[in-house]
Amino acid sequence: MDRMQELCEILNRWAYEYYVLDDPSVPDREYDRLYDELRELERETGTVLPQSPTRRVGGEPVKGFERHTHISRLYSLDKAVTEDELSAFFTRVEKHGAPTYTVEYKFDGLTVCLTYEKGNFVRATTRGNGVEGEDVTAQALTVKSFPLKISYQGTLEVRGEAIIRLSALEKYNAAHPEEQLKNARNAAAGAIRNLDPKVTATRSPEILFYDINYMSENPVASQEEGMEFLRREGFKTYPYFKICKTFDEVTEAIDEIEIERKKIDVLTDGAVVKVNEESVRAEMGYTDKFPRWAIAFKFEAEEAETTVHSVRWQVGRTGKLTPLAEVTPVELAGATVRRATLNNFGDLTKKRVKVGSKVLIRRSNEVIPEILGAVSEEEGGVPVEKPLFCPACHSPVAEVGANLFCTNEECPPRVVQKLTHYCSKNAMDVEGMSEQTLSLFYDRLGVRRFSDLYHLTAENLQGLEGFKEKKIANLLGAVEKSKHIPLDRFLYAIGIGGIGRVAARDLAAFGSLEAIADLTFEELVALENVGEITANAILNYFANGENRAELLRLKEAGVTPFVKEKNVGVFSGETVVLTGTLSSMSRPEAQKLIEEAGGVCANSVSSKVTLVIAGEKAGSKLDKAQKLGIPVVGEEELFARLGRKS
């Protein structure tokens, strides 16, 4: 028995190091050896201690979930989506004195509540309706980021969010192509509320703890103490936890979360602001639904559910046919969405999207959101037919892998898309030259080539609907301005296959279009961002007579790409991150000075960063820099290097 106790203690400590601290002190096989020894002893004696890690396997499937009444009600939080609503919350709180606030991430998973009695874990339940939840003890036991034994001897209920890390979701989906989990929230809820704990275990959920719901003795006096208690007792918590004194500090922390949350491995949908002190909380109390002393600041939804009504095909600049779905209008990220895209024909089958399917859509960097996949298969859903001919020009369609292509180089929407890309912001940046305008010019003025744009005249445009004098002048001015453009933008604009903005920058370093046209295959693939396929595309592009003629026409029209002189100065060769508040100038101003002195500014700390300049109240970036051993200097050093007085 003593040996069993000892083994439990050692194994639980190692599991804590591994799952909670993410810092194991022994190799896995050492853990396995002692684990096997414990299992053997348990078999011999027929006893399993309550804290035994062997309980974590989860046991047999259950027939149904038992209902369980929480000792203390689990409230949900009132929500704010605007700064005004948040400010109203502060006004209400400040009537009860000047407390401090805590700001934390709001994770998007399934809320669970764990009960402990006399130091032992006894039960896990879902939040349910707040009063009553479902017993998910067997499922929760497969999660290893909480202790089975704690030092606190009273009755305790702690609250956490069961989540599945985005990386774990990706891994799971890669290993289970036949059973794709749509998003991390549904995956976490589905894992915990699965009748078979073995299924729960395969999805590797974790629980991040953030609250104490009930303590029979020595209750904590603040949220801060509560978090310290949780950490001390071995519960996994998320490292970000901020204590703020003012409204400004809170909004700053929320802004920080809004940016950082896109980079972290856990799905989040907001930030939670709580009054720190229990004394103030007690005074403020509860409404019939919410505590008055806490609020969830929700960021705009990034995902929504809707139904596919029809699918049509769009022809892109490479001739690729992209499925575009008309969907039931739905609110997403503050806009009404009516259409959503998929990558290609193969995607329709892979994501099981049919006409009539309920689908999950996600806001993307593109204008039109993308379809993540079908949520459920509706009865009578109609599969989308594979087009044999281009919907725009009726030329035969070619199938390459999962993609379909229109085989006609002169397919009208394809030409318009090429022109649109040429004029787009990151390319030639011809302001006002939208897809719609170019489509009109294609139809009415016969614009086909890039060079045609430079022969447009005021007389040409006058007859067109909606083109008044001012608009015409602006548009022609923008066309004129685009003649003088950095070479990398020009290379990106002309749309050579595989040349994105990064590869375009590599190529522009050769100084001129002529020099690039002379590069050999070997010279091209030697570039960091050019692979064999792109190298061939570049060679083919310059070998093509029509392309060479077009480049000549552009040159004759006055398009003269130039190469930017590289800034040289005291920051040459440095990649710099600015963090915190600088006292004498804004961050963009400092960034400009660094770039003028030859440096490159980055937004986040990575191993490529060579220097971090930290102002007042520098946060997580500073921690990360220190962890990576990147030199950190203050504002004075920046000015000293620039030879300025601060």
Sheet containing 110-117: give its strands across. Answer: 120-126, 110-117, 156-163, 206-215
What Rg, from alpha-carbon coordinates, does the chain have? 30
Closer Cβ to Zn ion, 234 or 413, answer by number: 413
The least distance separating Zn ion from the CB of residue 438, rounded to whole angstroms, comes to: 17
Q: Tokens in use for 325?
A: 């779905």
Taking CB under 5 A as the criterion, which residues in 385-404 touch Zn ion? 390, 392-393, 395
Cross-strand partners of 163: 206
Least distance from C-beta 408 to Zn ion, angstroms?
5
Compute the distance between CA of residue 416 and CA of residue 393 in angstroms, rounded to an integer.
13
Q: How far is the CB of 339 from Zn ion (least distance, A)?
A: 20
Q: Which residues of 64-78 are buried (b: 16+ CB within 10 A; e: fewer)?
A: ebeebebeeebeebe
Question: Residue length, the chain?
Answer: 646
Q: Of 406 and 496, which has the nearer Cβ to Zn ion?
A: 406
Q: Which one of 191, 212, 406, 578 is in contact with Zn ion (CB under 5 A)?
A: 406
153 vs 395, which CB is nearer to Zn ion?
395
Kindly tell me which of 324 and 330 has the beta carbon lying closer to Zn ion: 324
Closest residue by Cα to residue 275 from 263, 283, 267, 287: 283
| Contact status: 411 vs Zn ion (CB under 5 A) | yes
| Options 200, 268, 403, 408; binder of Zn ion; rule CB under 5 A | 408
The conformation of residue 410, written as its DSSP 8-state character, comes to T
Helix (H, G, I), strand (E, B), or coil: what is residue 504?
helix
Structure tokens at 584: 């004498």
Please, what is the minimum distance in Å from the beta carbon of residue 405 to Zn ion? 9
Residue 538 and residue 530 in contact, taking contact as beta carbons nearer than 8 Å: yes
At 404, list the tokens.
């379909």
Q: Are the C-beta atoms of 375 and 381 separated by less than 8 Å?
A: no
Give the nearer residue to Zn ion in terms of CB position, either 411 or 487.
411
CA 472 – CA 82 distance, rounded (Å): 40
Span interacting with Zn ion, options 18-26, 36-44, 411-419, 500-508, rule CB under 5 A: 411-419
Residue 586 Cβ, how far from Zn ion at the closest point, in Å? 49
Provide the minimum distance between the beta carbon of 500 and Zn ion in the complex, in angstroms, as a whole number: 24
Query: Letter for the amino acid at 385?
Result: E
For Zn ion, the closer CB: 393 or 445? 393
Of 390 and 507, nearer to Zn ion (C-beta) is: 390
Active-site residue 106, yes or no?
Answer: yes
Q: How many residues sit close enough to Zn ion to count as binding (CB under 5 A)?
A: 7
Q: Tell me which of 106, 242, 320, 418 is the catalytic residue.
A: 106
250 near Zn ion, judged by CB under 5 A: no
> Which among 412, 440, 466 is positioned nearest to 456, based on CA atoms?
440
Least CB distance to Zn ion at residue 315 (A): 5
Spell out, one character per residue from 507 to 526, where the chain touches Zn ion: x when CB under 5 A holds, - when not.
--------------------
**CA nearest neighbour of 137 among 209, 82, 202, 56:** 56
Sole window of 69-77, 177-185, 364-372, 382-390 interacting with Zn ion (rule: CB under 5 A):
382-390
Nearest approach, Cβ of 321 to Zn ion (angstroms)? 8
* Least gap, CB of 533 to Zn ion (angstroms): 23
Q: Which stretch binds Zn ion (CB under 5 A): 48-56, 143-151, 384-392, 427-435?
A: 384-392
**Strand, coil or helix: 304:** strand
Q: Which is nearer to Zn ion, 80 or 438 (CB)?
A: 438
> 624 exposed, middle or buried (CB, 10 Å; 0-12, 13-18, 19+)?
middle
- Which residues fall within 8 angstroms of residue 165, CB to CB, at 6 or more apart? 184, 204, 206, 265, 266
Closer by beta carbon to Zn ion, 32 or else 443 = 443
Which residues from 337-356 bind Zn ion, rule CB under 5 A? none
Concatenated DSSP letters for 228-257? HHHHHTT----S--EEESSHHHHHHHHHHH
- Binding mask 78-117 toward Zn ion (x if CB under 5 A, else -) reads ----------------------------------------
**Integer Cα distance of 74 and 451 in angstroms:** 66
Q: Distance between CA atoms of 92 and 556, rounded to whole angstroms?
A: 68
The yes or no reply on residue 442 touching Zn ion (CB under 5 A) is: no
Is the distance from CB of 243 to CB of 224 less than 8 angstroms?
yes
Catalytic residues, by residue number, are 106
Residues that bind Zn ion (CB under 5 A): 390, 392-393, 395, 406, 408, 411
